Amino acid sequence: MSATEPSTQFEQIVMPHLDAAYNLARWLAGNDHDAEDIAQEASLRAFRFLGSFRGGNSRSWVLTIVRNTAFTWLKQNRPQAVVSIGDEELNTIEDPAALKNHSSALHHADRDVLHAALESLPVEFREALILRELEGLSYKEIADIADVPIGTVMSRLARARKQLQEYLSQKGDVTK
């Protein structure tokens, strides 16, 4: 990184991604108040560690900090929210037909029901789905942020979509 002022670096590297940072924190924490705390702590960490940014995708770097901050916060405040996912998830392959059904489910779901469905997902699944569907990140970017293999990202997305579709089907908000 160049020898520019830390505040200038912060404005260039972190600030453009504050909305995405808050959005991820909100979905991981489940409410606005906790998301504000997480996003603020993540911003402080980003400022503190600006010197470790080596260029490249600043959005992924910022979201990685938010993700790590959120998971630390969750482990301290809501340990039951963080689940361990076994190796069997690596064997799940994303089915193109499931993607079509998932897309249809999202388009036909009531906003409040969809919000409840997303919040019902395990946090690791919700994280992958939010980063992919709402933030538009690639599988590789999600894998980098979550520090997991791309296969794990694909599996989490497939399982999240399946659980989301099942939830929406149970609520009667999806036509098959």
Q: What is the CATH number of the domain that holds 13?
A: 1.10.1740.10
pLDDT in the model for residue 158? 95
Secondary structure of the chain: what % helix, strand, coil (to 5)? 75, 0, 25
Low-confidence ranges of the chain (pLDDT < 70): 1-3, 79-109, 172-176
20-60 pLDDT, tens digit per residue, is 999 999 999 989 999 999 999 999 999 999 988 988 899 99
What does the pLDDT read at residue 123?
A: 92
42, 64, 81 — which closes off a domain? Answer: 81
Give domain status of residue 1, yes or no.
no
Answer yes or no: are the C-beta atoms of 123 and 67 closer than 8 Å.
Answer: no
Give the pLDDT of residue 172: 65
pLDDT score, position 82: 57
If asked whether residues 10 and 71 sit together in one domain, one would say yes
Q: What pLDDT does residue 173 have?
A: 52
Confirm if 59 and 136 have CB atoms less than 8 A apart.
no
Rounded to whole angstroms, how far apart are CA atoms 72 and 78? 10
- pTM (2 decimals)? 0.75
Please tell me the number of Cα atoms within 13 Å of 4 on its side-chain side.
10
Whole-number pLDDT of residue 80: 65
Show Cβ contacts of residue 41 under 8 Å, excluding neighbours closer than 6 positions.
Answer: 69, 73
Check whether residue 140 and residue 65 sit in a common domain. Answer: no
